[in-house]
């Protein structure tokens, strides 16, 4: 695993170890100033033209972005970017990477537990089968997981309905609901 585990030393196996404290801190940061997303994105380089994109995102005012670089270093993955609104963020994408990080943080997550479990489930489905080989039942399950995550997230933009998501995947929403 190329994430946080590679930075652990042999001494980190004790209860209350520094690595556990760091994981708890990162989980708390995610609970307060982070978000979990599962989006359906357009993709030009594939036959299907779509992809599912799981994301863990940590946000911070750019004046205090040093913590974001620390999180990126501790997890061993992600990229920091500055937005036009004075905020910076660390984004982590990838089915296996997102699932592995959330599994590490889950014992310490309090407010985003439902979203975390839903995103882990989605990542497990997506990493087990190529997008083009996903069954209709798997795609419906992924849509349901998107809706769970959406419902639990605070979002200022309009949330997509199940019907809109199924249409985006190429299904007739009348026959799938």
Q: What is the pTM of this model?
A: 0.83
Q: Are 122 and 38 in contact (CB under 8 A)?
A: yes
The secondary structure of 45-79 as a DSSP string is TSSS-EEEEEEEEEEEEGGGTHHHHHHHHHHT--E
CA distance 105 to 101: 6
Which domains, from first to last, does the chain contain?
4-176 (3.10.28.10)
pLDDT in tens, 72-89: 999 999 999 999 999 999
pLDDT digits (tens, 9 = 90+) for 124-160: 999 998 888 889 999 999 999 999 999 887 765 677 8
Beta bridge partners of 57: 35, 91
């Amino acid at each position: 695993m190329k994430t946080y585990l590679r930075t652990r030393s042999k001494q980190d196996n004790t209860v209350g170890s520094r690595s556990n404290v760091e994981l708890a801190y990162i989980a708390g940061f995610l609970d307060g100033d982070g978000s979990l997303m599962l989006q359906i994105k357009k993709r030009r380089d594939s036959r299907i033209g779509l992809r599912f994109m799981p994301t863990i995102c940590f946000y911070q005012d750019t004046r205090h972005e040093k913590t974001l670089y620390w999180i990126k270093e501790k997890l061993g993955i992600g990229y920091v970017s500055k937005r036009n609104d004075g905020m910076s963020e660390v984004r982590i994408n990838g089915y296996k990477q997102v699932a592995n990080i959330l599994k590490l943080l889950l014992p310490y997550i309090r407010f985003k537990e439902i979203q975390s479990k839903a995103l882990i489930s989605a990542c497990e489905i997506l990493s087990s089968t190529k997008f083009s080989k996903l069954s209709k039942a798997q795609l419906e399950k992924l849509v349901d997981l998107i809706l769970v995550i959406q419902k639990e997230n605070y979002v200022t933009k309009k949330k997509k309905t199940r019907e809109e998501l199924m249409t985006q995947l190429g299904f007739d929403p009348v026959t799938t609901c």
